[in-house]
Amino acid sequence: MRLGSLSSMLPLGFVLMTFISHCYGHDLRVGFYDGKCGGQDIEKLIYGIVKKKIAKDPDVVSDLTRLLFHDCFVRGCDGSILLKGNHTEQKAHINKHVAGMDDIDDIKKAVEKVCPGVVSCTDVLVMAARDAGFLAGGKRYDVETGRRDGRVSSSKEAEASLPPPTIPVNKAIQMFAKNGLNEREFVVLLGGHTVGTAHCNSFKNRLYNFNNTQKPDPTINSALLPLLCKTCPLHSQSENETFLDHNPTSHFKMDNDYYKQIVAHNGTLEIDQNLAINPLTRGIVEELANSPDQFLNEFGPAMVKMARIGVLTGDRGEIRKTCASVN
């Protein structure tokens, strides 16, 4: 079994679902594809495929969750991260370990067989990410559909638009705010790290020479440090990875254990650990750490809100026949 990667996600609480949230923009609504594919239930079809994939590889949960985040924060939720090419988002260094594109391709092929030219790759990703979280123990929530696919994908835009794992909390909050997400939603969306992993290049700077001190990051739990050093030796160029939730019984579960871990200074990424320390976010982290239901109740609505960023609907964009290339 490979380890999935979720090192900078976060690939997300408003609670009340208003009418606007169910009919956002032009033709973005829950149940958009009802009656558009004959007697086929597209959401049920996608759910079944995702379920089979997770049964074979639990890392699919983190892959799809992170993939949606990395798509939505660059040009909006338009499926641009799915496009292949020499200078596309997939080629950005920050997307080096992002996975799940092949899974979306497989799902799209199955959808095309029963409903050709109707369902966008972007909506396939949104629905698949929702199903992955639910199958990992999260609460199921309705997703709005009706998005169309973008035609432009830029590695430079990805580098400029996605937060690195070393980003300070205040700057991350500002980045999320530019995308219409508040501080609480930012903290809730990072909770997706509970099913993720990080590669050495995302946190090795904390282990040996943090901020040119020739010492490790003092915020790392002394019991965790040797484990991380073993995963990422000082003089190795290893691409090893480790779980972001260090509770072995919770690696693939969508739960609030991520928050418990960072409160205990067991955060792997710098942004994760700082989330539990910074006064702007510490209170939210502690609240979510103490209430498993609170995180599960808020994660879905936050994902729905994130999935509205910069959507293309109506006559804008296209419905790709294959997700890796424009029509």
Are 56 and 91 in a shared domain? yes
pLDDT at 115: 97
Is 194 annotated as belonging to a binding site? yes
Q: Is 80 a member of any domain?
A: yes
Are 66 and 199 in a shared domain? no
Q: What is the CATH number of the domain that holds 296?
A: 1.10.420.10
Mean pLDDT over all residues of the chain? 92
Judge contact between 266 and 246, C-beta under 8 A: yes
Tell which residue, 86, 125, 85, 119, has the closest CA to residue 102.
125
Q: What is the mean pLDDT of residues 175-186?
A: 98
Instruction: Give the torsion sign (CA, 242, 244, 249, 251).
Output: negative
Is 27 annotated as belonging to a binding site? no
Catalytic positions: 70
Q: Tell me: the pLDDT tens digits for 202-216?
A: 999 999 999 999 999
Neighbours of 287 (CB within 10 A): 15
**Using the 8-state DSSP alphabet, how is residue 197 labeled?**
E
Is 76 annotated as belonging to a binding site? yes
Q: Is 312 a member of any domain?
A: no
Tell which residue, 24, 327, 235, 322, has the closest CA to residue 147.
24
Is 13 annotated as belonging to a binding site? no
Torsion of CA 196, 305, 166, 249, to 10 degrees: -20
Is 149 annotated as belonging to a binding site? no
CA distance 117 to 320: 7
Torsion of CA 278, 284, 290, 294, to 10 degrees: -150
Tell which residue, 308, 304, 271, 295, has the closest CA to residue 73.
308
Tell which residue, 74, 103, 77, has the closest CA to residue 90.
74
Residue percentage of the chain with pLDDT more than 90: 89
pLDDT at 222 over 90: yes
- Look up tokens 């792997």; give the residue: 268
Are 255 and 144 in a shared domain? no
Q: Is 1 a member of any domain?
A: no
Kindly state the tokens that stand for 257.
């254990």
pLDDT band at 134 (very low <50, low <70, confident <90, very high): very high
CA 199 to chain CA centroid, nearest Å: 16
Provide the domain count of the chain.
Answer: 2
Q: Tell me: the pLDDT tens digits for 270-327?
A: 999 999 999 999 999 999 999 999 999 999 999 999 999 999 998 899 999 999 999 8
Is 169 annotated as belonging to a binding site? no
Are 135 and 252 in a shared domain? no
pLDDT at 175 over 80: yes
CA 54 to chain CA centroid, nearest Å: 16
CA distance 68 to 307: 8
pLDDT at 327: 87
Are 73 and 102 in a shared domain? yes
Owning domain of residue 146: 19-162
Are 41 and 151 in a shared domain? yes
The pTM of this model reads: 0.91
pLDDT at 27: 75
Q: Is 35 exposed, middle or buried (0-12, 13-18, 19+ CB in 10 A)?
A: exposed
Q: Tell me: the pLDDT tens digits for 247-266?
A: 999 999 999 999 999 999 99
Is 311 annotated as belonging to a binding site? no
Q: What is the mean pLDDT of residues 94-115?
A: 97
pLDDT at 110 over 90: yes
Are 122 and 49 in a shared domain? yes
**CA distances, 14 to each of 144, 182, 225, 292, 295 (Å):** 15, 9, 36, 17, 12
Domain boundary among 142, 162, 182: 162
Q: Is 237 a member of any domain?
A: yes
pLDDT at 321: 96
Judge contact between 176 and 185, C-beta under 8 A: yes
Domain boundary among 104, 132, 162: 162
